[in-house]
Amino acid sequence: MLNSLISVIIPAYNAEKTIQETIESVLNQTFTNFELIIINSDSTDATLSIVSQIKDERLKVFSYPKANVAVNRNRGFKHASGDYITFLDADDLWTDDKLTAQYTALQSNPQAGVAYSWTNCIDKNGKFLRKTSHRNWSGDVYSKFLLDDFFGNGSNVMIRRELLTEVGGFDETLTNAQDTDMWLKLSAITDFYCVPKPQVLYRILPNSMSSNVLGLEKSNLEVIQRSFAREKAKELQHLKPIAIANLYKYLCYKALTAPPGKQQSVVAARFLLTAIKTDISLLFKPIIFKAILKLTAMVVLPANWASKIFQKLPHLSNTSTFLGYEKTT
């Protein structure tokens, strides 16, 4: 049964702190018939040196000028020989049964072109932080993705090669939301299948909460517009206001989780007002008190003071509840 070749593609830029552990999580897979393609994006640290010391005939390394993750994933795909394609970020990890479970799922469900698993979040030391949404949705999931990128990362899926070719790879013009755009393109043409167990460990680093929230806003709005313009969404236009409301709840969470600063607080305040405007029910949720309190601290206190307060009062300053208010229907 395990005869098909799987291509694992890891884009890497200055990933010296995590790349070895990430590669080891691939080499430890129970499914062994894979090729591991590392796309080194002009790293200036020890990334390339670390990778070069790993001796495994399945490992292939290619170096290119620095580019965004969409470009590097597409570069990896051009080198891939597998019947199935997977992607893994250079700081994320897989459980050792990830490839086997997803491959088996696609073999057992030929109508599905994409298999995915659940994700748990870890910190820089690999310690469990929280689980993600853990949605168990299979079949036609296009309407689900219109409202929420329930994968939350690009290290999750296994894709039949011909489908990735059909959709033209990742959109290299997007500065953010390339993953969401890809899942929508794929779910417009094929069924998805869920492997209902956590097999992806998504690493959240101290400064990885997207300081470029304005870029996130722009790219995600563009993806929403193009996704609702597809023929697939002709009968789903009533979901568009919900999709925009969900986006601003997510952006508000991102902005409030980023390092404190007055400029950041102004952006977070705009996102919060837009989130309330698009979903007035937020006014009656406890999260609003937390958000306003955190915004006030970000505005009136020096950044280092605000950071210390948030660290000492994590339950009071935790605004991840915004993600729980995203509507899925």
Per-residue pLDDT tens for 244-286? 999 998 898 888 877 777 777 889 899 999 989 998 988 888 8
Verify that 167 and 224 share a domain, yes or no. no
Please give the Cα distance from 322 to 319 (Å, whole number).
Answer: 6
Asked, for residue 152, whether it belongs to a domain, the answer is yes
Verify that 67 and 161 share a domain, yes or no. yes
Residue 2: what pLDDT? Answer: 57
Asked, for residue 293, whether it belongs to a domain, the answer is yes
Quick check: 141 and 151 in contact, CB under 8 A? no
Please give the Cα distance from 27 to 272 (Å, whole number).
Answer: 43
Type of residue found at 76: G
Residue 316: what pLDDT? Answer: 59
Asked, for residue 1, whether it belongs to a domain, the answer is no
Residue 263: what pLDDT? Answer: 79
The tokens 């005869």 sit on which residue?
Answer: 3
Verify that 293 and 175 share a domain, yes or no. no
pLDDT, tens digit, 9 for 90 and up, residues 168-193: 999 999 999 999 999 999 999 999 99
Q: Which CATH number do you get for residue 198?
A: 3.90.550.10
Question: What sign for the dihedral angle of Cα 319, 156, 218, 67?
Answer: positive
Verify that 78 and 96 share a domain, yes or no. yes
Residue 211: what pLDDT? Answer: 53
Q: How many domains does the chain have?
A: 2
Residue 210: what pLDDT? Answer: 45
Q: Which of 182, 203, 224 is the last residue of a domain?
A: 203
Q: Which of 153, 175, 203 is the last residue of a domain?
A: 203
Asked, for residue 10, whether it belongs to a domain, the answer is yes
What are the distances in angstroms from CA 312 to CA 188, 198, 281, 315, 316? 45, 30, 30, 9, 9
String of DSSP letters for 209-224 = S-S-HHHHHHHHHHHH
Asked, for residue 65, whether it belongs to a domain, the answer is yes
Residue 209: what pLDDT? Answer: 41
Share of the chain above pLDDT 70, in %: 93
- The ranges of the chain with pLDDT < 70 are 1-2, 206-211, 315-329
Verify that 42 and 172 share a domain, yes or no. yes
Verify that 103 and 162 share a domain, yes or no. yes
Asked, for residue 208, whether it belongs to a domain, the answer is no
Q: The whole model's pTM is what?
A: 0.89
Question: What sign for the dihedral angle of Cα 25, 209, 66, 162?
Answer: positive
Verify that 240 and 292 share a domain, yes or no. yes
Q: If you ran DSSP here, which 8-state letter would residue 158 be given?
A: E
Per the structure, the complete domain to which residue 219 belongs is given by: 213-324
Asked, for residue 127, whether it belongs to a domain, the answer is yes
Residue 208: what pLDDT? Answer: 54
Asked, for residue 329, whether it belongs to a domain, the answer is no
Parallel/antiparallel/unpaired status of strands 112-122 and 128-131: antiparallel
Verify that 230 and 286 share a domain, yes or no. yes
